[in-house]
Amino acid sequence: MSETALSSPRGAKGAASDSAQSVFVFDVSGMHCAACSARVERVLNAKPGVAAQVNLALERADVTVSGGQSADDIKAMIEKTGFGASLRQGSLSERQAQAERVDEDRAEEERHSFYLFLFSAVMTLPLVAPMITHWFGFGWHMPPLIQLVLAAVVQVIVGARFYRGAAKALAGGAANMDVLVAMGTSAAFLFSLYQVIALGSASVGHLYFEASAAILTLIVFGKWLEGRARRSAADALRALMGLRPREARLVADGATGDRMVPIEEVKAGDRVRVLPGEVVPVDGTILEGRSEFDEALLSGESEPVLREAGEKVISGAVNGAGSVVLDVVAMGDDTVLARIIRLVDQAQTGKAKMQNLADRISAVFVPVVIGLALLTFVAWLALGGNFEAAVVAAVSVLVIACPCALGLATPTALVAGTGAAAKSGVLIRDIDVLEVAGKVTHVVFDKTGTLTEGKPSLVSLHQVDNAMTEADLVGAVAAVQSGSEHPLAKACVDAARERGASIPPARGVTAHVGEGVEGTVDGAAMLIGTRAFLERHGVDLSSAGDAFQMMEQEGLSVSAVARGGQLMALLGFRDEVRAESRAAVESLKARGLKTILLSGDAPETVRRVGEILGLDEARGGVSPRDKLDMLTELQGQGHVVAMVGDGLNDAPALAQADVGIAMGSGTDVAIGAAAITLMRIDVGLVGSAFDIARHTYSKIWQNLFWAFFYNVIGIPLAAFGLLNPAMAGAAMAFSSVSVVSNALLLRRWKA
């Protein structure tokens, strides 16, 4: 993986992405359900020039401002809705520290919920004990005054958080889960209190103190479980953030020796020493030493990777047994690790299309439920039911109908799924691809660097004109190619160095994507590229005879070289097929997918690679424009197309494809155009990317189904008096926990 393997996504969060637009990230505290997040999002989006996405699972708001609004203005708007807001700002390291503090606060809140649950359970158990003994044939009853005292303690101490939340929500002009819980438990408690006062302490009428206390106990317990699950869903991103070292061991000149400095003080060109067992603090090139590095959390590669002098090492990798000195290439927000974190963060905070229905329902859910509860109460009285039965049914409707599960269904699955994918080396940048990936019918591959090693070597040089020696010719070719990142260009430069040829300066170098390159060396115009490229520039290729065809039949990639309009030589390059490519293609075909190879290389060479790998179709001599047209043609025929590539010439096709998949070793342009990036140079991850996308999409729909199912089934049961309030509270708590737990099953997925 190169140090430029990942591009920054749409502007760094917490900073201005351009002169007219800023993106702010706020941690939002106090949100308990989908109605809460929907309220914040609705208020923010109502402001001209503000576009916001609020994630309930991560308790954060991502706000894009294109007008004159400041971060303080946005913060005030969030707080006006009744919730707390803190801005993440500064460098990635500073935002990481802020996120860690927020995470600690949430962990403390989680512990508080657990202690509150234990207290509530101790107070509630005596209230529900008579009901339990009644099931076994005993007729024990607790005195009403003792029930009143125990229930009042729970209602005041445990219910306080719900009353505060309800008051804030109503003050902000909305209603949320807290309103439902406060109304339901208050109704049960006050009705029982009325019976005790009106009928006396000797009242034999049924009291519902145990219902109000049990509801609060069960909901607090459910919130504790839900909080634990929500925090664990973000474990993958938390683990990546934890890889960022705060200090580096700077190698100083002279006798001062190494010294530890804050990572912010390290600059490009500095030398950093990494001792055995330490985490690499920067992206750099090894100057001294060799060692194995564990990159599992970065690329999903389970085995340590050996790196030697001249090779690159990325921040976040764990050093093995050797000590190495690195020449610093990138640090801080510019490292590969920082870019991975941004991509994972971007995916996890996005909003899938299927969430829109849940959002629309959540926006009106609580008022509708309150209306249904009132309708239930009136209907029971109108149909001859007594007041007590009407109250119990209405309370049950209020308690069982909670929008928490709706709000958590999609974001928890997204967080868990994209996190699991990242741990296996699959970075999902565009979450909309989750829906499309399961519908792919055709997978189109680039050749060089995708199905092949991407490290071609010059193995044949057929000189047509002897006006230049081989060494001078290779040196001139390397001069024109020395500024290019193309694999064939690197092979030419390597060949010149191996032959000891001098590389003169080149002027006016211009690259023609997918065709070739031109420039001037020692006053003579040089052309290097495909047969069509040279012919288009008026070069006569007849002097090469059948050499072109013979070299291509040997499976070589052939480039022609012309100097001053005269054909000079043919260069033959060999790029070995990756060992895992055959198995990867077979895996995709086993899924029923059609596999196609499109390459700018010679048709004969491409055909040979296609035969080796068992591809359904292989076309050579294809320009970037041709690739785009072929993908458009397939899509026009109703096919859903995935494109896999890594080069600059693949970027248009990656953007056009329904699912663009870039190899992590590729160019920033290719990765920026793709929806998915494979962090390991392993084309076998293509099938894995489809799998995790399909699994995540499936979990989202499962969660939405269960969230709707609980309410569609539960509300009528409660309205018809088939659920008592305590059972309704248990069902409501279980609905949120089950949805989050179902999403967490994605964490078990591995490529």
Residues pairing with 325 in the sheet: 273, 288
From residue 595, how far is each of 380, 461, 589, 642, 644 by CA, in Å? 64, 33, 7, 10, 11
Task: Say how many C-beta atoms besides its own lie within 10 A of residue 149's C-beta.
Answer: 12
Residue given tokens 């996190």 in the structure block = 419
Residues pairing with 507 in the sheet: 520
Q: Which of 446, 575, 650, 682 is catalytic?
A: 446
The answer to whether 451 and 612 have CB atoms below 8 angstroms apart is no
446 assigned to active site: yes
The answer to whether 300 and 680 have CB atoms below 8 angstroms apart is yes
Token pair in block for residue 717: 């049961």
Residue given tokens 């050749």 in the structure block = 447
The DSSP symbol for 544 reads G
The answer to whether 574 and 539 have CB atoms below 8 angstroms apart is no
Alpha-carbon span 562 to 537, nearest angstrom: 10
Give the amino acid at 606: V
The answer to whether 405 and 324 have CB atoms below 8 angstroms apart is no
DSSP assignment string, 126-181:
HHHHHHHHHHTT------HHHHHHHHHHIIIIITHHHHHHHHHHHHTT---HHHHH
Residues pairing with 676 in the sheet: 428, 661
Alpha-carbon span 66 to 122, nearest angstrom: 53
The answer to whether 215 and 181 have CB atoms below 8 angstroms apart is yes
Alpha-carbon span 680 to 689, nearest angstrom: 12
Alpha-carbon span 296 to 307, nearest angstrom: 15
Side-chain-side CA neighbours of 744 within 13 Å: the count stands at 18
Residue 51, helix vs strand vs coil: strand
Would you name the residues annotated as active-site residues?
446
